[in-house]
Amino acid sequence: MSKRIPYKNIKYYTFAENRDFILESGTAFGSITVAYETFGTLNEDKSNAILIFHALTGDSHVTSSYDDDNSTPGWWDSLVGRGKEVDTNKYFVICANLFGGCMGSSGPSSINPLTNKPYGSSFPFISVNDMVNVQKRLIDYLGIEQLQCVIGGSLGGMATISMMTNYPDIARSFIIIASAYKTSSQIMAFYEVGRNAILADPYYQNGDYYGKEYQPERGLGIARMVAHITYLSNKGMENKFGRMIQENVINEQLTYNRFGPMFAIESYLRHQSTKFIARFDANSYLYLTKAMDMYDLTQGGKKTLSSEFSKVNKKVLIISFTSDWHFTQADSWEMAKELASLGKDVSYINIESSYGHDSFLLPCKIQEGAIKNFLKNVGVYNETA
């Protein structure tokens, strides 16, 4: 019931066939399948591997460098690939679909091997730590003792924080981009609106809509629209759309087509929503956003940022963007400051940009240069050596 996965080089690793994977909630679960792609060649001593976590709605296809015809763009083509700043001619890049997702890895739309039906509402609640524990199993399976780097933006940044604090020696370096160790009340509220739009859709059918005539597409579309606004910035939207009228709406229609697309921003959001519905699963959206909202490195104050970050013993790069109001520069600065005050080897870059949270996914010379330079100064690929 998963959406068709268009990536021909995708691989699958399945484990915990005996239902012996213990989730953070205490529930035992299995089997678990991880859909992943690798790019480049793992060197002999397995020291050149980089793990990249995708964000909320991403997948394993981080680069199209290895596609025959480049027909399926990679979501981070600007940064990752042959000859790119994260150069797959040098590094062995691993990117896996997040546990709970809908692009090949086990998630609510996967077939439950015990029933031969999609999990739907029977899929258990999962956490960011669960997602990370699953990818740790993948790294073990690939026989990699220590990664060159773990990189992630947004939810992928949270996963990187989880990896860095739960498995501090898993990599020689960590890059956390446009992220935070917990979600703000405001952003949580917007995701809650999105979840409510899905839950309110009559075709949601308590999550067991797979194979039914109707799917909760409208609710999912609304959820995407509201989230998408939080990925842009006020200034960016003003620059790109302002109050521009959509060209194909002629004046005469303004009166009659009164709730149809009219302003360019309205048309754009509907377009984004339509594209998203075609590629994403409503249940995965519920599970992944809830896991993101729930993530809190300090566990609601039971622990402190200081106690958690004191576990870190490798190089860290933190990147934020000035106009990002989803995970703000203040969120990144708080982490960088804490790591620095603990005497950790942390670098922090706050990049001027009007593209909001989306900035980290867009071509950005400063980000690309910073990451390339950071990687050069970590471990095995020091070019001066």
- From CA 346, how far away is CA 237, in angstroms rounded? 33
Q: Is the CB of 41 or the CB of 122 nearer to a copy of itself?
A: 122
Nearest distance in Å: CB 197, a copy of itself: 5
Marked catalytic residue, from 59, 201, 324, 331 = 324
- From CA 365, how far away is CA 49, in angstroms rounded? 23
Stretch that binds a copy of itself, among 2-10, 131-139, 254-262, 310-318 (CB under 8 A): 254-262
- Answer yes or no: 324 catalytic: yes
Tokens of 103: 């692009």
Which member of 28, 189, 362, 380 binds a copy of itself (CB under 8 A)? 189
Phi, psi (degrees; rounded to nearest 5) at 238? -65, -40
By three-state DSSP, how is residue 63 classified? Answer: coil
- From CA 232, how far away is CA 243, in angstroms rounded? 16
> Using the rule CB under 8 A, is 177 a contact of a copy of itself?
no
> Using the rule CB under 8 A, is 195 a contact of a copy of itself?
yes
Which one, of 286, 100, 113, 105, lies nearest residue 204 by Cα?
A: 286
Nearest distance in Å: CB 201, a copy of itself: 8
Which member of 27, 41, 89, 122 binds a copy of itself (CB under 8 A)? 27
- From CA 48, how far away is CA 142, in angstroms rounded? 13
Stretch that binds a copy of itself, among 1-9, 170-178, 263-271, 306-314 (CB under 8 A): 263-271
Q: Is the CB of 15 or the CB of 263 nearer to a copy of itself?
A: 263
- Which residues, 6 or more positions from 122, have their beta carbon under 8 angstroms from its beta carbon? 112
Q: Is the CB of 53 or the CB of 285 nearer to a copy of itself?
A: 285
Compute how many other C-beta atoms are within 10 angstroms of the C-beta atom of residue 87: 17
Pairing between β-strand 49-53 and β-strand 346-351 as defined by DSSP bridges: unpaired
Compute how many other C-beta atoms are within 10 angstroms of the C-beta atom of residue 379: 18
Q: Which residues, listed in sequence order, are joined to residue 11 by a DSSP beta bridge?
A: 36
- From CA 327, how far away is CA 318, in angstroms rounded? 12
Residue keyed to tokens 């205490």: 26
> Using the rule CB under 8 A, is 167 a contact of a copy of itself?
no
> Using the rule CB under 8 A, is 263 a contact of a copy of itself?
yes
Query: Using CB under 8 A, which residues numbered 305 to 334 contact a copy of itself?
Result: 325
CA–CA distances in Å: residue 297 to residues 91, 242, 303: 30, 38, 8
> Using the rule CB under 8 A, is 71 a contact of a copy of itself?
no
- Answer yes or no: 357 catalytic: yes
Marked catalytic residue, from 109, 154, 267, 320 = 154
By three-state DSSP, how is residue 93 classified? Answer: strand
Contact between 263 and 249 under an 8 Å Cβ cutoff? The reply is no
Query: Using CB under 8 A, which residues numbered 214 to 253 contact a copy of itself?
Result: 218-219, 221-222, 225-226, 229, 232, 234, 237-238, 240-243, 245
Nearest distance in Å: CB 325, a copy of itself: 7
Which member of 83, 143, 202, 343 binds a copy of itself (CB under 8 A)? 202
In the complex, the residues that contact a copy of itself under the rule CB under 8 A are 25-27, 124-125, 182-186, 188-190, 192-193, 195-197, 199-202, 218-219, 221-222, 225-226, 229, 232, 234, 237-238, 240-243, 245, 254-256, 258-259, 263, 265-266, 269-270, 273, 286-287, 290, 293, 296, 300, 325
